[in-house]
Amino acid sequence: MVAMSVQCKLRRGRERMTSWIPKRYAVVGRYIKLKSEDGTWDDGWKVHQAHTELPTKVVLEREQDYRQTRKASDV
């Protein structure tokens, strides 16, 4: 079975975010925690909308491509 991720729009108060999350957590109306880059958990995000679904492997590969591009292009 292939692990899947879903691109979701999240809300927490006035904050808005778009993030790829595992399919099992991508339920509209559900509250989730997100792991920060420093390893801490950021609680209280509500799944507002769920959109595109892709294999998690593809999402992680695209994330690495994006980070490498940013490193090369940021001054």
| Domain spans in the chain, listed from the N-terminal domain onward | 4-73
Q: Taking Cα atoms as reference points, which of 21, 1, 23, 22 lies closest to residue 10? A: 21
Average confidence (pLDDT) over 57-64: 84
pLDDT(65) > 80? no
H or E segment at 58? helix 56-73
12-57 pLDDT, tens per residue?
A: 999 999 999 999 999 999 999 998 889 999 999 999 999 999 999 9
Question: pTM for this structure?
Answer: 0.77
